[in-house]
Structure 1
Amino acid sequence: MLSIALVSFLLLHFTVALTPDSFLLSCGAPSGTTDESDGRQWYTDTDHPNLLPSNFLNISSTATVSDTSVTRVPYMNARIFQSPFTYTLLVSPGTKFLRLHFYPSSYLDITKSESFFSVTANHFILLSNFSAFDATTSSSKVLRKEFVINVDGTQILSVTFSPVPNSYAFVNGIEIVSVPTDLYFHGDVKLVGHTKPFNINNSTALETLYRLNVGGNLVGSTEDTGMYRVWDSDDAFVVGYGYQTPHFNDANITYNSENPAYSAPTIVYTTSRTMANYSPGLDWEFPLNSGFYYLFRLHFCEIQPEVKEINDRSFSISIGNQTAEREADVIQWSGGWRIPVYKDYVVNVRNQDGEQNVTLGLSPNPDSAYQNAILNGLEIFKLNDSNGNLSVPNPELFGTNNSSPNNNNKRSSHIIAVITAVAVISGIALLSILCLLIFRRWKRGKELHTSVTKSSWIPLSITSDSTQRTGGSGSSALPSDLCRHFLLEEIKTATGNFDEKFVIGYGGFGNVYKGYIDNGATIVAVKRLNPSSKQGVREFETEIHMLSKLRHVHLVSLIGYCDDNNEMILVYDYMAHGTLRDHLYKTDNAPLPWKKRLEICIGAAKGLHYLHTGKKDIIIHRDVKSTNILLDDKWVAKVSDFGLSKIGPLSGSGKTHVSTVVKGSFGYLDPEYYKRQQLTEKSDVYSFGVVLFEVLCARPALIPNMPKGQVNLADWACRSCKKGNLQQIIDPNLEGQIAPECFNKFAEAAYNCLKDQGVQRPSMNDVVWNLEFILKLQDAADNRGHKMELNSYPTSPAFPLIMNDHTNISTDEGFEAFSGSHEVGGKYTSSATSMTSNSDDKLKSDTIFSEILNPSGR
């Protein structure tokens, strides 16, 4: 039964409790004081009218060490508990935000090792064996833990702080704010990977883990919609190469009953993140504790003028590598332009030890007009388990039984003795291993007659976990004699301490600098991955593993790397003429002549052919595009950027593909790979086919704001081939340069690379053969003095060959052109269809073509 005092208190404050709650406790502040420095009234925890009477047998203290960036209220005072203590708060029925504020500092000389405690709210366990000292970071001196809890008709919210034995608990502030009941508790939610939904009702408790203003800056609590939520920037969690869209100040967001104004502040819906050019999608990565279900709430609002109709932008959503939504269409969901909408998904992070990195991925659907993806805001909540638990304890640093001091001392002495013994044994073993390694390295160095200099040739120092890196030494599977290790100081010297004037390129990974090494004797390209982001670590490793083992005249050469001080820097041969795209469009460079384009395509094709056949294992590049074909000072083409490369199916395994998640660049992405997630070397062939049309037409693979049928270059060019009007879309700068038979054959080669099914596409060997043949056709035409007039490229009947894929077309001249070939006895013979040229010269295949040689390693 309730005591008479408690009944009187309840009756006295009954009317107060019926109103929505928004009250704040400044714990440990002097009695009788209030504060309104943040625009809200903070009461001391002994004076608040909604706090039930209680005997404070605990300690209050003021922080003796403070940071100027930390606000005075509620963080400069703390309530300290030496034994379990409960705040009993009278609140209105319904859903509440319960926020606990902590500022780990020096209170009464209490140290970090003496502050471990648990927190419960009604029957939910919020924190267990928790240390605020461990939970804060160098970038955030204070900690705010937010929970969503429903309070039933008793109107009592009891928050209990329980220190572990021989320790203390503390809290700086407690905040309670009413939440619309249906905002987070609204029944069935889609459970990712399952057909049955997951029910979230008001008997569930949530812990807010991430609340992000995607593509925008921090949104403070006072900018929220009356619930004082904080929306952080998503920069720290982005893995893919996403663009941040500008904030639309004049965007008139239209809320509705399904997505009311309190769902998220307007500024969240007027900023967003979309895909960068040539990016396969958008990806974020979040560390989450294993063994819990999580609610992902994704906020969307189409505010870009070009996206107003259904299917203008359609994309898929995956969470934890499981498909959550196959065709997300914001306009269809919301009902119109500038109308916000949010979607909820629940994912189960299965039991494993510790944390898991869970990825949220958005990938555009190829059939949508505007092939891109968008996200405006994101909230992630942990759901309580079947025991009402939300906590993941810190490691048990302290015993939980009440042993006597003498027993504690004895146990401590025993532990110290054991630790000392283990340390001595481990030290001896470590010293022995170190001596062995030093001896083996000395012996090897002596055999090779090499000496270790400042820029030594050593393996990459990367841990086995691809998400963690150190600047120290570590084990690596990289060959130690193929990859030069640079010190960070050398890289800084080479680039003028990363001077902006040396920047020659940039992207989602960071900047590329022109640098000078070996006392200025060698010019290099220095690719510095952004050290403050998590992206690029796996690509960094892959690039070094691949290029340290590959040497070919048509592959860019990796000189070395630097991983000092958590940097990720790659050093390549300098390519004086930049990327192929730099000379096709969106550039001030002079247009490339047709024969130079052909020679570049042949070189790039040879580089890819070497990857597919030149090593023991097939290597699939997986990101072939015009920006990854570089040109040296002699205009020799070199394939670059192996960060996404994969080893293909092993010979003799019977497998024809590698099953893997889809990665690459949209516009170049093999549709068969995209649909089936089965990667083959023919995926590179498809991408190269797009490059061929890019070379011919001098336009990007994707232009989202083009008319619907012209957005995707591959689709547009193939349709034009079938209609026989490809000549209408080629680069005007090529007027008069392409011989008719050469133009027809080049279009055929590109078209065949873009066949829907990989088995129908030529091999890179065939592609090289065809391109060399096309160059011979062009040389022959130039030698006989061909002349082309405007719009004189062949149309029908030459293009039925492409349309129907049928057999020979011949004329009296008997000039054969093969769409595929194979090598027999060092010469090429036909393996596919043939066509005829108007050439007066009777050329033979054995005199036209050069053999494809694999240049030896440098």
Structure 2
Amino acid sequence: MLSIALVSFLLLHFTVALTPDSFLLSCGAPSGTTDESDGRQWYTDTDHPNLLPSNFLNISSTATVSDTSVTRVPYMNARIFQSPFTYTLLVSPGTKFLRLHFYPSSYLDITKSESFFSVTANHFILLSNFSAFDATTSSSKVLRKEFVINVDGTQILSVTFSPVPNSYAFVNGIEIVSVPTDLYFHGDVKLVGHTKPFNINNSTALETLYRLNVGGNLVGSTEDTGMYRVWDSDDAFVVGYGYQTPHFNDANITYNSENPAYSAPTIVYTTSRTMANYSPGLDWEFPLNSGFYYLFRLHFCEIQPEVKEINDRSFSISIGNQTAEREADVIQWSGGWRIPVYKDYVVNVRNQDGEQNVTLGLSPNPDSAYQNAILNGLEIFKLGDAIGSQTASIPESSSEAPIASLAYPNNKKKRISWHIIVAIITAVTSGIAFFSILGFLISRRRNGGKDHGTSVPKSSSLPADLCRHFLIAEIKNATDNFDEKFVIGYGGFGNVYKGYLDNGTITVAVKRSNPSSKQGIREFQTEIEMLSSKLRYRHLVSLIGYCDDKNEMILVYDYMANGTFRDHLYNTENTPLPWKKRLDICIGAAKGLYYLHSGTKHTIIHRDVKSTNILLDDKWIAKVSDFGLSKVGSVGGTDTTHVSTAVKGSFGYVDAEYYKRQLLTVKSDVYSFGVVLFEALCGRPAINPNLPSGQVNLAEWACRSCKKRELEEIIDPNLKGQIAPECLRKFAELAYHCLRKEGVQRPSMGDVVKTLEFALQVQEGADNRGHEVEGSSFPLISNGDAMNEDEIFSDLSEVERKLTSNGMSMSVSRSAKVNNVALFSEIVNPLGR
């Protein structure tokens, strides 16, 4: 139930959220202190009236090194986060500028190498593996990151800061300003080099990279049109020579409905850059990250007296060496002299390693009367994908923060709580109209909308010969038109429904994408291609088919009657699994991952191993699921073979080495599986922000307990008396080594399978002869991190030696197919279990 304090807060501040927003938080400043900036008042992050009550367990600090060029507010104080933390703000619905202010300085003697973090805003992923220290330049001591996002009818903006393992996050100021709805999100935009347009709607997030007053000087935030934008000079980006910068400061600029006064301040349109008589054209260069789409907004206004008629000045526009316009005529576009106009273009900066310079070029057309080109202003934004991911897809922080899973019941509880909030607000304020609109929005979200705002791949390009291709009518019939009563889980991709095919003879799990999905077309195609043609194995979930009919993205799987592994470990009403069952499930999941790494022609790295992606069928057989983020490596790749890629995964499961270096190897999966092993042993989530700071991250807490020989203190109380000491030692050592900081120090998945099989044999042997309950009388981790990797497999090697002397072998070739791979239970115990 809602707390009285929260209900009171919502009632008191509900009317505030109905007006356009413009407010600022000075993070970490002492309570009660405020300051004025740009004519606006800064509040401390504990006092702002729009900030929902939070339990600030994080550190606030004052910069120990200051600079006279840096303003006191908001930069001399910072809020430091050593675990995930969320600011929850009550705002009006609509488009917002979200600006994050950073002053990379010394805080509590913490070094810059320890500050890497991600930032999310609602379902938009804004920053990942971000370091404010690395992002600042010599010319600026502070950093402002600006994003354009949409807030839906819930009127809640949750901004989450999540430090990477062994690191911290910080922020000095948070700024939120309302933006006219159609200023940046207005539908189809010309995609350079393509005939079809690119749709920019409010399911997209924009990151402002460059905002330039072309040919003029810096335009400060107070000179903007009420949205406090900063327009820099373009001098640093101009390539070559031969240009002029005509200024007509007294020009009477006439705005209109197509280009309202808030589009850009007048000073932007009264300054410009044009060509000198001997110049072949105008060119600018901008460093941009590869692999993203970018929005280029070009601002024009003919302000020179000699250019007043159509065809007086006509020129071509190219972006990234591709033609965007062949005959740009500002007078024709705007409708007259000194009437401003802007044009939007989207360009795809194709995948390459790192940054590349993208050129914007203007060249005069020889047929125009005044052979020249002009540009007044320029904005460049990086576009997020269908969920607004600006960089890596590290999800919002929560106890688990899934990207996608076939069954995630906890999300259902979260939804119900928000329905209660909305119901209470509506009832007390008698906002009948608001309630109707919000109910409509919620209904659209639940139903996935009629149009996902993105193009779904045609069925002809997908492997219909290897799995079934369903029509949407068949899926609706199987799920009773996606009835809520059939929902069995929620995930980043969308709802998961239980369905019945072929007159009820086949039970399936139907995963349907929705407009706010954290995964899109790429993951949809990857999942189909992986499971339909490459991956068929006992310990991998089976894909039955897919549906891409009428802009839907739907995947149909075998139904897993017992849900996810996580469902039976914690935060559940299910009976806790006994130890041997947990161990058996870990073995099955490890075999599935080993098959991915070594049982196929190409090494496959799962990239999202977690307990919610381990499913259990009606016979409790473990099956690895969700291959939307998987990456294919080389043929017969080694453990050190890597794939350079943006970081994706789930917070709490991604190892710091992959996070920082963005080099993905099979050992990244091993690390994630080590977290799963400790989940099984400790019966708690990978991340739990409600625990004391030293216990929030399961991997860190468990490893620290191992080194201190305090393992018995973290074991799930439900397992008391079930684990033989020698089995516990072997299992814990394995999990500990899976979590080693360097991938080369972690065991292979083949070794993981062997060790788990051996641990099970030890447990069964102890059960047969009787054993004492687990305790601290046995050594667990010797010499801490300096422990020799071979220690973990010492007992196992002896077993293997004995088996080999009896004519049996446990060796496994990495290139072996699954039917030739030794499945270790049958070897160690020929009679089976």
TM-score, normalising length: structure 2: 0.50
Task: Give the secondary-structure state (helix, strand or coil) at the position aligned to 1:515.
Answer: strand
The CA deviation at 1:471 is: 5.8
* One-letter amino acid of the structure 2 residue matched with residue 753 of structure 1: C
1:777 and 1:657 map into 2 onto residues whose CA distance is: 35
Provide the residue aligned with 1:391 in structure 2.
298
1:398 and 1:846 map into 2 onto residues whose CA distance is: 73
1:593 and 1:323 map into 2 onto residues whose CA distance is: 38
1:372 and 1:506 map into 2 onto residues whose CA distance is: 31
Task: Give the secondary-structure state (helix, strand or coil) at the position aligned to 2:796.
Answer: strand
Partner deviation per Cα, 1:47-82 (whole Å, 9 max, x = no partner): xxxxxxxxxxxxxxxxxxxxxxxxxxxxxxxxxxxx
Task: Give the secondary-structure state (helix, strand or coil) at the position aligned to 2:763.
Answer: helix
748-757 vs 368-377, greater mean Cα deviation: 368-377
Choose which of 513, 520, 532 in structure 2 pairs with 1:536.
Answer: 520
Provide the residue aligned with 2:796 in structure 1.
817
The CA deviation at 1:480 is: 3.3
Give 1:560-579 correspondences, 5 Å limit: 560-579=545-564
Q: 1:849 to 1:470 in 2, by over 3 A?
A: same
1:613 and 1:570 map into 2 onto residues whose CA distance is: 26
Provide the residue aligned with 2:471 in structure 1.
487
Q: 1:255 to 1:747 in 2, by over 3 A?
A: same
Give 1:131-280 correspondences, 5 Å limit: 222-224=19-21, 255-258=34-37, 261=40
Give 1:30-69 correspondences, 5 Å limit: none
Answering whether residue 651 of structure 2 is matched by residue 666 of structure 1, we say: yes
Partner deviation per Cα, 1:146-168 (whole Å, 9 max, x = no partner): xxxxxxxxxxxxxxxxxxxxxxx
Q: 1:705 to 1:743 in 2, by over 3 A?
A: same
The CA deviation at 1:509 is: 2.5
Contact 1:772/1:849 (8 A) holds in 2: no
Contact 2:117/2:164 (8 A) holds in 1: yes
2:636 and 2:679 map into 1 onto residues whose CA distance is: 33
Contact 1:612/1:619 (8 A) holds in 2: yes
Provide the residue aligned with 2:163 in structure 1.
364
The CA deviation at 1:374 is: 11
Choose which of 61, 74, 99 in structure 2 pairs with 1:298.
Answer: 99
* Structure 2 runs not aligned, ≥5 long: 1-12, 25-29, 57-82, 88-95, 103-107, 136-141, 148-158, 180-206, 216-244, 246-270, 273-296, 301-323, 333-451, 814-823
Q: 1:788 to 1:820 in 2, by over 3 A?
A: closer
Task: Give the secondary-structure state (helix, strand or coil) at the position aligned to 1:366.
Answer: coil
Answering whether residue 348 of structure 2 is matched by residue 548 of structure 1, we say: no
Contact 1:602/1:768 (8 A) holds in 2: yes
Contact 2:609/2:673 (8 A) holds in 1: yes
The CA deviation at 1:725 is: 1.2
Task: Give the secondary-structure state (helix, strand or coil) at the position aligned to 2:488.
Answer: strand
Identity between Structure 1 and Structure 2 (%): 54
Task: Give the secondary-structure state (helix, strand or coil) at the position aligned to 2:539.
Answer: coil
Provide the residue aligned with 1:848 in structure 2.
828
2:754 and 2:697 map into 1 onto residues whose CA distance is: 27
Provide the residue aligned with 1:315 in structure 2.
117
Choose which of 679, 686, 690 in structure 1 pairs with 2:671.
Answer: 686
Partner deviation per Cα, 1:170-206 (whole Å, 9 max, x = no partner): xxxxxxxxxxxxxxxxxxxxxxxxxxxxxxxxxxxxx
Provide the residue aligned with 1:344 in structure 2.
144
2:596 and 2:472 map into 1 onto residues whose CA distance is: 31
Choose which of 793, 800, 816 in structure 1 pairs with 2:782.
Answer: 800
Q: 1:471 to 1:323 in 2, by over 3 A?
A: closer
Answering whether residue 389 of structure 2 is matched by residue 587 of structure 1, we say: no
* One-letter amino acid of the structure 1 residue matched with residue 828 of structure 2: I
Partner deviation per Cα, 1:544-589 (whole Å, 9 max, x = no partner): 1211121011011111111222221111110000000100000000
* One-letter amino acid of the structure 1 residue matched with residue 624 of structure 2: V
Contact 1:317/1:323 (8 A) holds in 2: no
Partner deviation per Cα, 1:362-391 (whole Å, 9 max, x = no partner): 763323578999977478764333364663
Contact 2:682/2:715 (8 A) holds in 1: yes
Contact 1:724/1:799 (8 A) holds in 2: yes
Q: 1:468 to 1:392 in 2, by over 3 A?
A: farther
Partner deviation per Cα, 1:256-310 (whole Å, 9 max, x = no partner): 23586357996766599x9xxx99999xxxxxxxxxxxx9861479xxxxxx999
The CA deviation at 1:827 is: 1.1
2:564 and 2:798 map into 1 onto residues whose CA distance is: 28
Answering whether residue 483 of structure 2 is matched by residue 499 of structure 1, we say: yes
Provide the residue aligned with 1:117 in structure 2.
none
Q: 1:692 to 1:559 in 2, by over 3 A?
A: same
Task: Give the secondary-structure state (helix, strand or coil) at the position aligned to 1:525.
Answer: strand
The CA deviation at 1:631 is: 0.3
* One-letter amino acid of the structure 1 residue matched with residue 700 of structure 2: D
Partner deviation per Cα, 1:391-442 (whole Å, 9 max, x = no partner): 368967998999xxxxxxxxxxxxxxxxxxxxxxxxxxxxxxxxxxxxxxxx
* One-letter amino acid of the structure 2 residue matched with residue 848 of structure 1: V
Contact 1:594/1:738 (8 A) holds in 2: yes
Q: 1:595 to 1:662 in 2, by over 3 A?
A: same
Contact 1:268/1:377 (8 A) holds in 2: no
* One-letter amino acid of the structure 1 residue matched with residue 726 of structure 2: E
Task: Give the secondary-structure state (helix, strand or coil) at the position aligned to 1:587.
Answer: coil
Task: Give the secondary-structure state (helix, strand or coil) at the position aligned to 1:516.
Answer: strand
Q: 1:574 to 1:399 in 2, by over 3 A?
A: same
Provide the residue aligned with 1:628 in structure 2.
613
Partner deviation per Cα, 1:112-141 (whole Å, 9 max, x = no partner): xxxxxxxxxxxxxxxxxxxxxxxxxxxxxx
Provide the residue aligned with 1:675 in structure 2.
660
Contact 2:670/2:747 (8 A) holds in 1: yes
Contact 1:553/1:638 (8 A) holds in 2: yes
Q: 1:848 to 1:259 in 2, by over 3 A?
A: farther
**Max Rg structure:** 1
Task: Give the secondary-structure state (helix, strand or coil) at the position aligned to 2:596.
Answer: helix
1:281 and 1:396 map into 2 onto residues whose CA distance is: 48
Provide the residue aligned with 1:350 in structure 2.
none
Provide the residue aligned with 1:71 in structure 2.
none
1:641 and 1:369 map into 2 onto residues whose CA distance is: 30
Provide the residue aligned with 2:810 in structure 1.
828
Provide the residue aligned with 1:415 in structure 2.
none
The CA deviation at 1:816 is: 3.2
Give 1:389-788 correspondences, 5 Å limit: 391=298, 469-470=454-455, 473=458, 475-476=460-461, 478-531=462-515, 535-549=519-533, 550-651=535-636, 656-784=641-769, 786-788=770-772
2:330 and 2:827 map into 1 onto residues whose CA distance is: 87
1:217 and 1:611 map into 2 onto residues whose CA distance is: 52
Task: Give the secondary-structure state (helix, strand or coil) at the position aligned to 2:810.
Answer: strand
Contact 1:364/1:373 (8 A) holds in 2: no
Number of aligned residues:
486
* One-letter amino acid of the structure 2 residue matched with residue 366 of structure 1: P
The CA deviation at 1:632 is: 0.3
Contact 1:770/1:820 (8 A) holds in 2: no
2:750 and 2:645 map into 1 onto residues whose CA distance is: 25
Q: 1:651 to 1:782 in 2, by over 3 A?
A: closer
* One-letter amino acid of the structure 2 residue matched with residue 700 of structure 1: P
Task: Give the secondary-structure state (helix, strand or coil) at the position aligned to 1:540.
Answer: helix
* One-letter amino acid of the structure 2 residue matched with residue 484 of structure 1: R
TM-score, normalising length: structure 1: 0.49
Task: Give the secondary-structure state (helix, strand or coil) at the position aligned to 2:685.
Answer: coil
Q: Which has the higher contact order (CA 8 A, sep 6+)?
A: 2
374-383 vs 480-489, greater mean Cα deviation: 374-383
RMSD: 5.1
Partner deviation per Cα, 1:16-62 (whole Å, 9 max, x = no partner): xxxxxxxxxxxxxxxxxxxxxxxxxxxxxxxxxxxxxxxxxxxxxxx
1:511 and 1:479 map into 2 onto residues whose CA distance is: 24
Task: Give the secondary-structure state (helix, strand or coil) at the position aligned to 1:545.
Answer: helix
